[in-house]
Structure 1
Amino acid sequence: MTTPTTLTLEDRITGSLIGAAVGDALGGPVEGYTPEQITERHGGRVTGIVGPWNGDAWRTARPIAPYHKGDGHVTDDTLMTHALIRVYDRVRDHLDAYAVADHLVPDLISTPRWIPELEAEALPLQRVFLAEKWLVARLHYGHVDPREAGCGNIVNCGAAMYMAPVGLVNAANPPAAYAEALDIAGAHQSSYGREAAGVFAAAVAAACLPGATPDTVVDAALALAKDGTRAAIEAVCEVASRHTDFESALGPLRDAVAPFDTVGPDYRAPSLAARRPSRLHSIEELPIALGALLVGRGDYRRTVLTAVNYGRDCDSIATMAGAMAGALHGEGPIPADWPKRVAEASRLDLHGPAAVLAGVTREVFTRDATRRRAHEAAFATLAPRAGGTR
């Protein structure tokens, strides 16, 4: 069996992206519900791919979200992740907020693609939710400075949920992933939503380090996280470290993150103070994803099922947890029938985007090495070593 220290860049990128998509598809049908409701609906904990919560009434049960969540369909988390990979494929270098305006927004509004939850070909814009439609309203129609366009949007996990590619392009360099994700996310989010995007990208980059473990991933996240995001990760991960079974962990994890979460106890009825900028708060999804990684001890199946059965925004939580677990151990530990069923049901090539991003990542590393050597040469001229000549 391949060990974490012998995994290649391609192995880790493939594991991370497929792990994220599968987590997304598993979490989608139970998103928005509590662990107790999930158990009642499914006669026990979710252990794999399940059908829509409302069965054949999925189109009309929730008119604001008439989506076929379940049966292996990915959600907007994966659609946005793949869209960001297409931007990397075009730019073939590091990205910033302007790349979102110049490339990501046109991708959302110009090219119809198969949307699994709509069971139809449509523009991605027609599936992404309101916090993501903000990108088009602000950048395409409003012509707002891309670096500031995220201000005014609800503060949620909208930007963080698709930042795994940023961590992978900066594999093994968490600070660089953090900085790049913060720049990109400025077009979409502000406050702790933007911060979470940076920390999640850093965690994925940390998971690519040879010899990485769930503990080292959490340490890398904490080394960079600020304010409420850092405090929430500390609180959740301290609790998670005491559990190895998600059954006992679900309640304590929620209790640990609750003081930092602005949504409140009823996920479908957010509090009046929900999703507003704050230095004291955090999105719920990232700390819980890191907690799931600890509870599962990095094992893909245990990690993702912890995230899925937690409920609430569990498609995004499982996307993030799956991305980190996949980067740690590659595709091998992911139950083989899950990616197969997700790819078939969603009509997606799950390996293609990974191959594309691996190629881009190698190119970007070469560019970075060239730029670094040029900087070193210039700096040596500016500041010669003692005893040298000017």
Structure 2
Amino acid sequence: MTPEQSQTTLEKRTRTNLEKQSRTTLEDRITGALVGAAVGDALGGPVEGYSPTQILERHGGRVHGIVGPWNGGEWRTARPIAPYHKGDGHVTDDTLMTHALVRVYATVRDHLDAYAIADHLVPDLMTTPRWIPELESEALPLHRVFLAEKWLATRLHYGHVDPREAGVGNIVNCGAAMYMSPVGLVNAANPRAAYAEALDIAGAHQSSYGREAAAVFAAAVAAACAPEATPDSIVSTALRLAKDGTRAAIERVCEVASRHTDFESALSPLREAVAPYDTVGPDYRAPSLAARRPSRLHSIEELPVALGMLVVSAGDYRHAVLGAVNYGRDCDSIATMAGALAGALGSPVPGAWSQAVSEASRLDLWEPARTLSEVTREVFERDVRRRRTHESAFTRIAGPRCSD
């Protein structure tokens, strides 16, 4: 395909997506983002940690939908991942944490801060058994989440650390970013507010560029909800708010992504673009000694690549998520983020995928969206009242403006 043909294809996709957006309601966007994130998570889970070449060899081609566990029936004992049933439409901890955060919003019914994580999210993870698809049983969510998420219980419940500082000392990864889409949705079309709220919340979990990524991802989701949003407008918003290495990585990856309209050709270039900012290194399962340490020069890999796939796909859900899945490495989180962004834009999540993931995971993927839609409208109405109260008070103390 020539550069001219690529540009024409991109323009056609963008026009089609804008036409769909004009008919997309707030509830549609919230549903698209949350269901889209869960489906992306489920599709990426079975190939997480592998390279595009390994995925190609294992599956005899690219992954184009739901696939089974990497090690087939030996998933209970196979290394390096065991005993999790990754595949067959099972969501992972990305979705478990996202739904947990929705439950916190349902309880508080207002904006959240780091204290809400200590007061509500941690008890939810520690005390209430839920169906865990990868374990094929009921268990406490805390038993499934990764060590970086167990940190929440260690620091906040057992250590009684100030929630605003509890993330300091944790490994710096995508742990907080992967479940921040609800923050962007509650602040729909207000990226700056989403950034600030996520930065506060994520302080209980992460520091450095891990915390920054959580804030930028939430802002990107909020930007995706804006009328006539496009992948380019989302990236522009992310760049306006992002700091340090996170900003540099997003800028570089998305600049490279803009040269591609198909994920196959973009896989290697996107990895090369993000590599200088990624601390894990070329071998995902053997991280470098500098991996996941605080830094102002680095970035998590997942968010820039998710935004890059959104650009490559021109916002098309299927294309963005499959690109994220076939990228490999931490592809369940990349596909979670790409799926949330494309879904919030209004690109439809394939019904066959969402239904299969819901049935396989034994989760109602639409109930959290209904709940968050109600909460989002309540919070917006409360924000309007607060803003009007502030305007009235400020006008009274400021008096009339003096003319020059």
Q: CA deviation at 1:335?
A: 1.5
How far, CA to CA, are the matches of 2:241 and 2:82 in structure 1?
Answer: 35
How far, CA to CA, are the matches of 2:388 and 2:188 in structure 1?
Answer: 19
Matching residue's letter, 2:387:
R
Equivalent residue for 1:356, pick from 371, 381, 397: 371
How do 1:1-390 residues align onto structure 2 when only pairs under 5 Å count? 3-62=20-79, 65-329=82-346, 333-386=348-401
Q: CA deviation at 1:76?
A: 0.1
Task: Give percent identity, aligned residues only.
Answer: 80
How far, CA to CA, are the matches of 1:199 and 1:207 in structure 2?
Answer: 12
Q: CA deviation at 1:387?
A: 5.8
How far, CA to CA, are the matches of 2:163 and 2:77 in structure 1?
Answer: 36
Per the alignment, in what secondary structure is the counterpart of residue 118 of structure 1? coil
Q: CA deviation at 1:240?
A: 0.2
Q: Does structure 1 conserve the Cα–Cα contact (< 8 Å) formed by 2:148 and 2:170? A: yes
Matching residue's letter, 1:312:
R
Q: CA deviation at 1:328?
A: 0.2
Instruction: Specify whether residues 387 and 247 from structure 1 end up closer, same or farther in structure 2 by C-alpha distance, changes over 3 A only.
Output: closer
Q: Which moved more, 1:55-64 or 1:351-360?
A: 55-64
Aligned residues: 386
How far, CA to CA, are the matches of 2:378 and 2:327 in structure 1?
Answer: 39
How far, CA to CA, are the matches of 2:329 and 2:402 in structure 1?
Answer: 63
How far, CA to CA, are the matches of 1:64 and 1:122 in structure 2?
Answer: 19
Runs in 1 of length 4+ with deviation above 6 angstroms? Answer: none
Instruction: Specify whether residues 64 and 38 from structure 1 end up closer, same or farther in structure 2 by C-alpha distance, changes over 3 A only.
Output: closer
Matching residue's letter, 1:365:
F
Per the alignment, in what secondary structure is the counterpart of residue 6 of structure 1? coil
How far, CA to CA, are the matches of 1:290 and 1:251 in structure 2?
Answer: 15
User: In the TM superposition, what whole-angstrom CA distance separates every residue of 1:161-191 from its partner, at most 9, and x where no partner exists?
Assistant: 0000000000000000000000000000000
How far, CA to CA, are the matches of 2:54 and 2:61 in structure 1?
Answer: 10
RMSD value over aligned CA atoms?
Answer: 1.1
Per the alignment, in what secondary structure is the counterpart of residue 235 of structure 2? helix
TM-score (norm 2): 0.94
User: In the TM superposition, what whole-angstrom CA distance separates every residue of 1:120-170 from its partner, at most 9, and x where no partner exists?
Assistant: 000000000100000000000000000000000000000000000000000
Q: Which moved more, 1:57-66 or 1:158-167?
A: 57-66
Q: Does structure 1 conserve the Cα–Cα contact (< 8 Å) formed by 2:75 and 2:82? A: no
How far, CA to CA, are the matches of 1:371 and 1:254 in structure 2?
Answer: 45
Per the alignment, in what secondary structure is the counterpart of residue 7 of structure 1? coil
How far, CA to CA, are the matches of 1:354 and 1:270 in structure 2?
Answer: 36
How far, CA to CA, are the matches of 1:69 and 1:116 in structure 2?
Answer: 9
Q: CA deviation at 1:224?
A: 0.1
How far, CA to CA, are the matches of 2:311 and 2:227 in structure 1?
Answer: 18
Instruction: Specify whether residues 318 and 282 from structure 1 end up closer, same or farther in structure 2 by C-alpha distance, changes over 3 A only.
Output: same
Q: CA deviation at 1:329?
A: 1.0
Unaligned runs of 5+ in 2: 1-15
Q: Does structure 1 conserve the Cα–Cα contact (< 8 Å) formed by 2:230 and 2:345? A: yes
